[in-house]
């Protein structure tokens, strides 16, 4: 009886450890659902746009969310606004210079103050934000929703696995990233609000 109980406990522990292994979620989304929205509100002009060239991977463990690490990348040339002339200027060498700096990224080092309720984890992600060749360590609020077994729904039944949805809203200052600091602030606000809404897939092996 004692032996079988010990065996049961050992098997149970192994199973627990195995299920607690971090999963790698791939955020590349050919359908373009994953997106980052940006807003600039200057006295003379409000600019609203979005980018859907999202990619990157995040290692996430539902049991240990604080150990989350990874990198999310947005292709600079995928940034879109409602006026094509404005978009050309935005992509040009005077502003984002997408030819020289094709990627905007956030590399997560750790999650602080992680709180998990059900399948939702809220935390502060600490990491390096990279824009136009300038890197800065920032902390941003994040909400991670772990959707176990939902990859099949998203892939029309072609793949089985899990999804991780990451949402975050935070602000940066373009002057901090050498984007025409101190210039044209009446038309292009210094403060940029970014909203990230992305889902990564971890296919079953």
Q: Give the number of residues in contact with other proteins, rule: CB under 8 A.
A: 24
Taking each continuous run of H as one helix and of E as one strand, the counts in the chain are: 3, 11
Q: Shortest Cβ distance from residue 35 to other proteins (Å)?
A: 5
What is the distance between the alpha carbons of residues 85 and 95, in angstroms, rounded to a whole number?
Answer: 13
Examine residue 198 and tell whether it contacts other proteins (CB under 8 A): yes
What is the distance between the alpha carbons of residues 89 and 122, in angstroms, rounded to a whole number?
Answer: 37
Q: Looking at beta carbons only, is 11 or 46 nearer to other proteins? A: 46
If phi over 0 gives left and psi between -120 and 50 gives alpha, with beta otherwise, what is residue 182?
Answer: left
Give the 3-state secondary structure of residue 194. Answer: strand
Binding other proteins (rule: CB under 8 A), the pick from 58, 96, 125, 199 is: 199
The DSSP symbol for 168 reads E
Q: Yes or no: say if 144 and 120 are a contact pair by the CB < 8 Å rule.
A: yes
The DSSP symbol for 68 reads -
* Residues within window 22-61 making contact with other proteins, judged by CB under 8 A: 32-35, 37, 45-46, 48, 50, 52
* Residues within window 67-126 making contact with other proteins, judged by CB under 8 A: 80, 82-84, 86
Q: Looking at beta carbons only, is 147 or 175 nearer to other proteins? A: 147
Sole residue written with tokens 């003379």:
44
**From 20-28, 95-103, 119-127, 194-202, span contacting other proteins (CB under 8 A):** 194-202
* Residues within window 125-184 making contact with other proteins, judged by CB under 8 A: 147, 150, 153-154, 163, 165
Q: Looking at beta carbons only, is 36 or 140 nearer to other proteins? A: 36
- In degrees and rounded to multiples of 5, residue 94 shows phi and psi of -80, -20
What are the residues binding other proteins (CB under 8 A)? 32-35, 37, 45-46, 48, 50, 52, 80, 82-84, 86, 147, 150, 153-154, 163, 165, 197-199
């Amino acid at each position: 009886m004692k032996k079988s109980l010990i065996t049961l406990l050992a098997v149970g522990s192994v199973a627990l450890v195995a299920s607690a292994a971090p999963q790698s979620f791939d955020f590349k989304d050919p359908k373009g659902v994953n997106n980052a929205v940006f807003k600039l509100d200057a006295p003379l002009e409000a600019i609203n746009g979005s980018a859907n060239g999202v990619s990157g991977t995040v290692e996430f463990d539902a049991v240990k969310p604080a150990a989350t690490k990874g990198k999310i990348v947005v292709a600079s040339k995928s940034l879109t606004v409602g006026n094509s002339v404005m978009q050309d200027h935005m992509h040009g060498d005077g502003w984002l210079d997408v030819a020289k700096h094709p990627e905007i990224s956030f590399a997560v080092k750790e999650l602080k103050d992680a709180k998990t309720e059900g399948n939702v984890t809220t935390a502060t992600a600490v990491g390096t934000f990279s824009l136009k060749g300038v890197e800065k360590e920032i902390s941003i609020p994040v909400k991670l929703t772990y959707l176990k077994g939902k990859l099949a729904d998203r892939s029309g039944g072609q793949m089985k696995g899990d999804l991780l949805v990451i949402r975050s809203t935070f602000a940066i200052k373009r002057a901090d990233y050498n984007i025409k600091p101190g210039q044209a602030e009446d038309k292009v606000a210094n403060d940029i609000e970014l909203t990230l809404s992305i889902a990564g897939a971890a296919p079953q092996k």
